[in-house]
Amino acid sequence: MTTESPSRAADIEAINRLVATVEHSQRTKDPEEFLALFHPDAIWTTAHGKVLIGLDAISEFTRKVLPAANWDGQVTYEVVHVLFIRPDVAAVKVRQRYLSPGEESEGAPLYVITKQPDGHWLLTACQNTGVIADAP
């Protein structure tokens, strides 16, 4: 028996779809699909520590680096944990894996996402962190 409300289950499903769209946009190197997921006032910190504030800065960076990325597009994103801070704010821990022949790397993004009045969830404050193999 589950005690999860239907609205919470719908939110979890929507959050999984958002992360799946992040994955798809990265696989296809599609900046427009990726950028459509952001709140206009979003904050994004890249895995290398570059801080981007607002959709204009995120857009400029993304349009430059995503299409030119030197990886073959094999990447997976998996929702690991969702913490609802409020009914309309969730912290989402993601496992990100880049898979290339002979090479694999991993990231551990944290997405703080917000539910908009129309019911859509948007990336609002995000930190992408690279995982260092064998780190203590």
Model pTM score: 0.90
Q: Does residue 45 form part of some domain?
A: yes
Q: Does residue 47 form part of some domain?
A: yes
Q: Which phi and psi angles does 3 have, rounded to 5°?
A: -105, 10
Q: How confident is the model at residue 92 (pLDDT cuts 50, 70, 90)?
A: very high
Of all residues in the chain, the percent with pLDDT exceeding 90 is 75
CA distance 112 to 128: 11
Q: Does residue 136 form part of some domain?
A: no
Q: Does residue 77 form part of some domain?
A: yes
> Where in the sequence is the domain holding 104, given as residue range(s)?
6-131
CATH of residue 55's domain is 3.10.450.50
CA distance 107 to 55: 22
The pLDDT value given to residue 69: 76
Cβ neighbourhood burial of 51 (10 Å; 0-12, 13-18, 19+): exposed
Query: Is the predicted pLDDT of residue 1 greater than 70, yes or no?
Result: no
How much is the average pLDDT of 118-126? 97
Q: Does residue 1 form part of some domain?
A: no
Query: Is the predicted pLDDT of residue 128 greater than 70, yes or no?
Result: yes
Query: Is the predicted pLDDT of residue 43 greater than 80, yes or no?
Result: yes
Q: Does residue 86 form part of some domain?
A: yes
According to DSSP, residue 132 is labeled P
Split into its structural domains, the chain has a count of 1
Q: Does residue 36 form part of some domain?
A: yes
The amino acid at 44: W
Per DSSP, helices labelled H in 43-134 are: 55-65
Q: Does residue 91 form part of some domain?
A: yes
Please give the mean pLDDT across all residues of the chain: 91
Highest mean pLDDT among 69-78, 97-106, 110-119: 110-119
CA distances from 66 to 28, 29, 95 (A): 9, 5, 19
Q: For residue 97, what are its two tokens?
A: 């894996």
Do 40 and 55 contact (CB within 8 A), yes or no? yes
How much is the average pLDDT of 15-38? 96
How much is the average pLDDT of 51-80? 91
